[in-house]
Amino acid sequence: MVYYITTILVYGGVDAIACLGLSQQFGTAGVTNFGFIIFQAAGAYAAGVLSLPPDSANGAFQSYVGGLNLPFPFPLIGAALVGGLLAIPFAAIVGRRLRGDFAAVGLLVTAVMFNLLVTNYVPFLNGAAGLSLVPSPLQDVINPQSTGYQWGYSIAAVLLAFVTYRFVRRITNSPYGRTLRAMRDNDVVADSLGKNLRSLRTSSLVIGGAIAGLSGGLLVGFINLWDPQAWGYAETIVLFAAVIIGGLGNHRGAVLGAILVPLAFEEATRYIPPVPNDPGLVPALQWVAIGLLIVFFLWFRPQGILPERRRVIMGDRAGGAVAPLAPEVPSRGAVATAAVVSEVAPAGAAEDAASRTPPPDVNLPAQPEPLPVRVRRPPFAGDVILECVGLSRSFEGVHAVDDVSLSFQRARLSGIIGPNGAGKSTALAMLAGTLPPTAGRIRYRGEDVTALPAYRRARRGLVRTFQLASEFKRLTVMENLIAAIPDQRGETFRGAFLGRRYWGAQEREAIDRAAAMLERFGLSALADRYAGDLSGGQRRLVEIMRALMADPEVLLLDEPMAGVHPRLAHQIGMQLVALCEAGITVVMVEHELSIMDEFCDPVIVMAEGRVLAEGTMAALRSNAEVVDAYLVG
Amino acid sequence: MSLFVESIGFGLLTAAVLALAAVGFTLQFAVTNVLNLAYSGVMIVAAYAAYAVNQAGVSIWIGALAAVAAGSLLSLLLNNGVYRPFQRRGTPPVSMVIVSLGMLLILVFGTQAVAGPTNVSYVMNQGATLKAGSFELTVAQVAMIILSIVVMVLVHVMMRYTRLGKAMRATSANRNLARNCGIRTDRVVTITWLVTGALCGLAGAVFGMNAGTFGATSTDVFLVLILAAVFLGGPGEAYGAMLGALVIGLATEISASLIVSDYKDVVAFVILIAMLTVRPNGLLGARV
């Protein structure tokens, strides 16, 4: 009985640690590592060969590399190290440009192949038979068969699981964790805001791999054997099932999932008596049940049993735990807030009725107050800050952008108009680095940036927004804004690990700055809402604010006014003019001619991938070609 | 040298089985954008369907028709019952892969629960061994290769010259545009699952014949070969998959003769990973 309980506890600890590693990797960072189990396997093998004597011992009945005979705790440390190091080459597969599902398949296949290799190549890790007689930690000091040892091991396993939980929670609740979650929600946008996806994914793989390796080392010290059967690719799916069922993005959920799926479902049912004449039936049905659990949960409760927690930041300041859509307090700020919120065009019928009531008459200031934006350079109008020469991009033979040369002057508000399919958004994407050009050069601040990836251009101040909704859905509005701030202290793994004492002060500044920004756009009341729950117009505002938080020097806006109430659009236009006066360069793709008329100079007209004309709107209106191509419609 | 020539024969045989499977897989992906990893599960269920018919005393070549029917029907069920509802909800591609893995477990281990853990073999006559120099294959093996070539020609005719093929290509290029042009895309998708399911089922039966003995989990590694062939030719490209199958089939068998047969599938794996990291759209596909 004692052995049963202690075994369950050890397995529970091991499964919980593994699930926490996967939760960090998949739930927080969105890296779909279908090869997760090989990191656990690597940890187990590493701990095994580090603690085993050379393979000539015991009559040389098994063969393996290593055999270093190291005492505790080195095998366990080695397990985590090997798990982490093994993750580094995997970063190539989950690189920047590969579709998520392709990467997932690549990792799955890798897991299948590693298993095949280890099974077939006997000298490495004793092939299909696997390692046996792996020493238990401290077995020279205490008899591993004794009840005391069993209890000690199980308590240590549970403690280690708890430490792992505290560790992943610490890094998830840091700015680093927030950046990972932003990448999970929308990696292209995170890239365009200056986040280095490759390094973020690599660090997620390494951390998850080290945790998985630790779980393997812990397990092998207890069961004393490890073979390829223990880590088939399907074992990864069990861990995925656990994390999905427990709740994606919630580490407590991962622990719960570990208890429910691998532990309760697999280990505990191991003692169900086999069906006579068909010993394989129960295990086979277990696998079927795992498959059913995954599909059913993804369908009926995709958020899992314990859904991801919403991070309330402004709760106290806004005066309530959950800020209502339309604040009822008639203070000056609140009225302005209500006015702006209601001016945002509703996205759907489900829109809160309160936000559709007519706006109270508010006098907007003729000269808007400056936005809380850091301007990188002193205003210095006139020189060319961004230009492209011969820029082209074709999609399977279609020339979306064809030999376009443009130059944008510092501190000007330039507009790009043109009919649908003119190549405006494609041109913008190439300027920002989201899309590599087929031909042509791009110069920014006198430097050729054609080959620079988007995140590095964003770090130099070349920031874009997107035409389609691109908010980080499972981040609150406040988090969306803060996530865009460059160079946060807590944004690296090291910073996150050092904890709130290291990055807390800067975080408070960031929150203040974001709060000021929200107030200027009248969205303070929505600070703690999920950005994905907002209306279409509100999401556009969040996106503009987020781009401003990224300290842009050049702001590339792709239809920022689409779906925004005309009155608010006008207000945004005024803000953009103010930004230009402060020294920021704005390039705006827009369909609304009245906006162009009022704010943009110069205006560039594109059609069929080419630049048709450039000049003030007044001049363009007298250009017959332009009128034919665009303005008539 | 003779070993090398012989391995080309086996390579063609593997390529024949692989082509049937890979073309079906890639067309499923092209039209529905699902990387259906349960594909190898459907294959094995179909192989067992053929086994059941074969056990009743029917020739396996007739039994293969049962596999075709089973694969076709099961694939349709899989799409209409699972994938389509998830996709209508806007489930992202990565989650679709997880769903397909869940279905893979259900199919493979469901088969194992029903059929038992021991391997089975078809009752079949391999026929005489045909020799041309050191190039030798049995009549049955030659028949498999011919069958595969005939099916590839049929796929080519379907894709190139029939309304269905054009509708499939249009749907895969841009589903919304195809729908707006009056193509009943839902029906095209349904028929695609029936056709590709038939290919998958046939591949299952031929896999069983070629393997000699097989069990419920036998297609696990074969899935790696399918994926390698598909990604080599570019996911969604039918002709690419044919070419990929030929290359992977020959590469695995030739490497088996040159190195050790235990590691022949590793060649496919290396090719797959190289393609994923360097050119995920395939040799024929556009660069990213």
C-beta of residue A98 within 8 angstroms of C-beta of residue B276:
yes
Contact B103 A291 (CB under 8 A): yes
State what percent of residues in chain B have pLDDT above 70: 97
Does B279 map to a domain? no
What's the pLDDT at A279? 74
C-beta of residue A291 within 8 angstroms of C-beta of residue B103:
yes
Minimum Cα–Cα distance from B37: chain A residue: A105
Structure-block tokens of residue A260: 């429910």
At B134, the amino acid letter reads S
Does B97 map to a domain? yes
At A513, the amino acid letter reads R
- Judged by a CB distance cut-off of 8 A, whether residue B81 touches chain A is no
- At B120, which helix (H) or strand (E)? strand B120-121
* Helix/strand/coil for A440: strand
CA of A584, closest CA in chain B: separation in Å? 32
CA of A292, closest CA in chain B: separation in Å? 7
- Angle of helix B2-32 relative to helix B219-233, nearest 10 degrees, comes to 80
Q: What is the mean pLDDT of residues B155-180?
A: 87
Better pLDDT: A270 or A323: A270
- The structural domains of chain A, ordered by start, are 2-274 (1.10.3470), 384-631 (3.40.50.300)
Structure-block tokens of residue B260: 């050790």
Does B211 map to a domain? yes
Pick left, alpha or beta for residue A530 (phi over 0 → left; psi -120 to 50 → alpha; otherwise beta).
Answer: beta
Question: Considering CB atoms only, which of A101, A287, A295 is closest to B109?
Answer: A287
Better pLDDT: B65 or A368: B65
Question: What does the pLDDT look like over B46-60, one tens digit per residue?
Answer: 999 999 999 999 999
Task: For residues A440 and A454, give the distance between their C-alpha atoms in angstroms, rounded to a whole number.
Answer: 16
If one counts every other C-beta atom within 10 angstroms of the C-beta of residue B212, the result is 11
Please state whether beta strands B129-132 and B135-138 pair in parallel, antiparallel, or not at all (unpaired). antiparallel
Question: What does the pLDDT look like over A128-149, one tens digit per residue?
Answer: 999 999 999 988 888 888 899 9
Contact A106 B105 (CB under 8 A): no
Question: What does the pLDDT look like over B136-163, one tens digit per residue?
Answer: 788 999 999 999 999 999 999 999 999 8
What's the pLDDT at A370? 62
Report residue A339's pLDDT band, with 50, 70 and 90 as the boundaries: very low
Question: What does the pLDDT look like over B48-102, one tens digit per residue?
Answer: 999 999 999 999 999 999 999 999 999 999 999 999 999 999 888 889 999 999 9
Nearest to A347, CA basis, from A205, A118, A534: A534
At A321, the amino acid letter reads A
If one counts every other C-beta atom within 10 angstroms of the C-beta of residue A540, the result is 28
pLDDT at A56 over 60: yes
C-beta of residue A564 within 8 angstroms of C-beta of residue A537:
yes
C-beta of residue A46 within 8 angstroms of C-beta of residue A217:
yes
Question: What does the pLDDT look like over A462-510, one tens digit per residue?
Answer: 999 998 878 999 999 999 999 999 989 999 999 999 999 999 999 999 9
pLDDT at B171 over 90: no
C-beta of residue A161 within 8 angstroms of C-beta of residue A20:
yes
pLDDT at A273 over 90: no
Q: What is the DSSP letter of B261?
A: G
What's the pLDDT at B49? 96
Question: How many independent structural domains does chain B possess?
Answer: 1
Task: For residues A134 and A146, give the distance between their C-alpha atoms in angstroms, rounded to a whole number.
Answer: 17
CA of A223, closest CA in chain B: separation in Å? 26
At A559, the amino acid letter reads E
Does B187 map to a domain? yes
At A551, the amino acid letter reads D
Residue A391, beta-bridge partner list: A404
Substitution target from A102, A237, A292, A474 for chain B, most B beta carbons within 10 A: A102
What's the pLDDT at A382? 58
Q: What is the DSSP letter of A525?
A: G
At A21, the amino acid letter reads G
What's the pLDDT at A328? 36
Does B49 map to a domain? yes
What's the pLDDT at B176? 80
Better pLDDT: A388 or A325: A388
Alpha helices by DSSP H, A460-551: 477-483, 493-498, 500-520, 536-549
C-beta of residue B203 within 8 angstroms of C-beta of residue B245:
no
User: What's chain A's Rg over C-alpha atoms?
Assistant: 29
Q: What is the mean pLDDT of residues A609-629?
A: 82
Task: For residues A162 and A252, give the distance between their C-alpha atoms in angstroms, rounded to a whole number.
Answer: 11
At A606, the amino acid letter reads M
Task: For residues B99 and A84, give the distance between their C-alpha atoms in angstroms, rounded to a whole number.
Answer: 28
Contact B95 A109 (CB under 8 A): no
Cβ neighbours of B263 in A, within 8 Å? 117, 120
Structure-block tokens of residue A151: 């209890």
What's the pLDDT at A270? 66
Structure-block tokens of residue A177: 């964790």
- At A439, which helix (H) or strand (E)? strand A439-444
Spell out a b/e string for B217-238, using b for 16 or more CB atoms within 10 Å of the CB, else e: bbbbbbbbbbbbbbbbbbbbbb
Structure-block tokens of residue B274: 């190289």
- At B63, which helix (H) or strand (E)? helix B60-78
Interface of B with A in 27-56 (CB under 8 A): 35, 37
- Angle of helix B264-278 relative to helix B219-233, nearest 10 degrees, comes to 40
C-beta of residue A130 within 8 angstroms of C-beta of residue A228:
yes
Q: What is the mean pLDDT of residues A547-567?
A: 89
- Judged by a CB distance cut-off of 8 A, whether residue B90 touches chain A is no
What's the pLDDT at A395? 80
- Judged by a CB distance cut-off of 8 A, whether residue B230 touches chain A is no
Q: What is the mean pLDDT of residues A169-189?
A: 94
pLDDT at A230 over 80: yes
C-beta of residue B258 within 8 angstroms of C-beta of residue B274:
no
Question: What does the pLDDT look like over A290-302, one tens digit per residue?
Answer: 999 999 999 999 9
Question: Considering CB atoms only, which of B82, B94, B277 is closest to A101?
Answer: B94
Q: What is the mean pLDDT of residues A303-322?
A: 74
CA of B264, closest CA in chain A: separation in Å? 10
Report residue A317's pLDDT band, with 50, 70 and 90 as the boundaries: low
Structure-block tokens of residue A596: 């162009």
For residue A283, cis peptide bond before it (omega within 30 degrees of 0) = no
pLDDT at A250 over 90: yes
Structure-block tokens of residue A525: 């009341």
Structure-block tokens of residue B167: 């509708």
pLDDT at B114 over 60: yes
Task: For residues A124 and A118, give the distance between their C-alpha atoms in angstroms, rounded to a whole number.
Answer: 7
Cα distances (angstroms) measured from residue A36 to each of A21, A125, A256, B99, B163: 9, 19, 19, 17, 44
How far is C-alpha B240 from the geometric centre of its chain's CA atoms? 13
Question: Considering CB atoms only, which of B93, B98, B273 is closest to A298?
Answer: B98
pLDDT at B278 over 90: no
User: What's chain B's Rg over C-alpha atoms?
Assistant: 18
Nearest to A384, CA basis, from A410, A411, A416: A410
State what percent of residues in chain A have pLDDT above 90: 51
Cβ neighbours of A280 in B, within 8 Å? 112-113, 116-117
Q: What is the mean pLDDT of residues A161-168?
A: 97
Q: What is the mean pLDDT of residues A23-40?
A: 93
Question: What does the pLDDT look like over B7-50, one tens digit per residue?
Answer: 888 899 999 999 999 999 999 999 888 899 999 999 999 999 99
What's the pLDDT at A330? 37
Interface of B with A in 96-135 (CB under 8 A): 96-99, 101-106, 108-110, 112-113, 116-117
State what percent of residues in chain A have pLDDT above 70: 87
pLDDT at A160 over 80: yes
Helices and strands, number each (H, E), in chain A? 24, 10
Report residue A565's pLDDT band, with 50, 70 and 90 as the boundaries: confident
Cβ neighbours of A437 in B, within 8 Å? none
Say what the ipTM of the complex is. Answer: 0.91
Q: What is the DSSP letter of A131?
A: B
Cα distances (angstroms) measured from residue A130 to each of A119, A120, A229, A362, B263: 8, 11, 9, 76, 18
Half-sphere exposure of residue A47: CA atoms within 13 angstroms, side-chain side: 34
Q: What is the DSSP letter of A69?
A: -
CA of B94, closest CA in chain A: separation in Å? 5
C-beta of residue B131 within 8 angstroms of C-beta of residue A324:
no
Structure-block tokens of residue A127: 């092939």
Question: Considering CB atoms only, which of B97, B101, B109 is closest to A284?
Answer: B109
Contact A101 B97 (CB under 8 A): yes
Residues in chain A: 633
If one counts every other C-beta atom within 10 angstroms of the C-beta of residue A278, the result is 12
At B13, the amino acid letter reads L
Cβ neighbours of A288 in B, within 8 Å? 105-106, 109-110, 113
C-beta of residue B100 within 8 angstroms of C-beta of residue B28:
no
Structure-block tokens of residue A329: 């307090």
Task: For residues A508 and A485, give the distance between their C-alpha atoms in angstroms, rounded to a whole number.
Answer: 13
Spell out a b/e string for A191-229, using b for 16 or more CB atoms within 10 Å of the CB, else e: bbbbbbbbebbbbbbbbbbbbbbbbbbbbbbbbbebbbe
Substitution target from B36, B94, B231 for chain A, most A beta carbons within 10 A: B94
Rounded to the nearest 10 degrees, how much is the dihedral formed by the CA atoms of B107, B111, B117, B120?
-120
pLDDT at A173 over 90: yes
Substitution target from B45, B82, B95, B105 for chain A, most A beta carbons within 10 A: B105
Q: What is the mean pLDDT of residues A351-373?
A: 46
Query: Where is average pLDDT lowest: A34-38, A164-168, A322-326, A391-395?
Result: A322-326
Task: For residues A13 and A19, give the distance between their C-alpha atoms in angstroms, rounded to a whole number.
Answer: 10
Structure-block tokens of residue A457: 């251009």
Residues in chain B: 288
CA of B143, closest CA in chain A: separation in Å? 31
What's the pLDDT at B131? 79
C-beta of residue A254 within 8 angstroms of C-beta of residue A60:
no
- At A280, which helix (H) or strand (E)? none
A580 contact partners, CB below 8 Å, separation of at least 6: A411, A412, A413, A586
Does B247 map to a domain? no
Report residue A380's pLDDT band, with 50, 70 and 90 as the boundaries: low
B263 contact partners, CB below 8 Å, separation of at least 6: A117, A120, B255, B256
What's the pLDDT at A91? 80
C-beta of residue A413 within 8 angstroms of C-beta of residue A560:
no
What's the pLDDT at A353? 38
Domain boundaries, position B30: 12-216
Does B38 map to a domain? yes
Better pLDDT: A70 or A374: A70
Q: What is the DSSP letter of A415?
A: E
Minimum Cα–Cα distance from B117: chain A residue: A280
What's the pLDDT at B284? 64
Contact B86 A299 (CB under 8 A): yes
Contact A102 B280 (CB under 8 A): yes
Question: What does the pLDDT look like over B183-227, one tens digit per residue?
Answer: 888 889 999 999 999 999 999 999 999 998 999 999 988 999 999
For residue A372, cis peptide bond before it (omega within 30 degrees of 0) = no
Does B285 map to a domain? no
Question: Considering CB atoms only, which of B106, B224, B235 is closest to A109?
Answer: B224
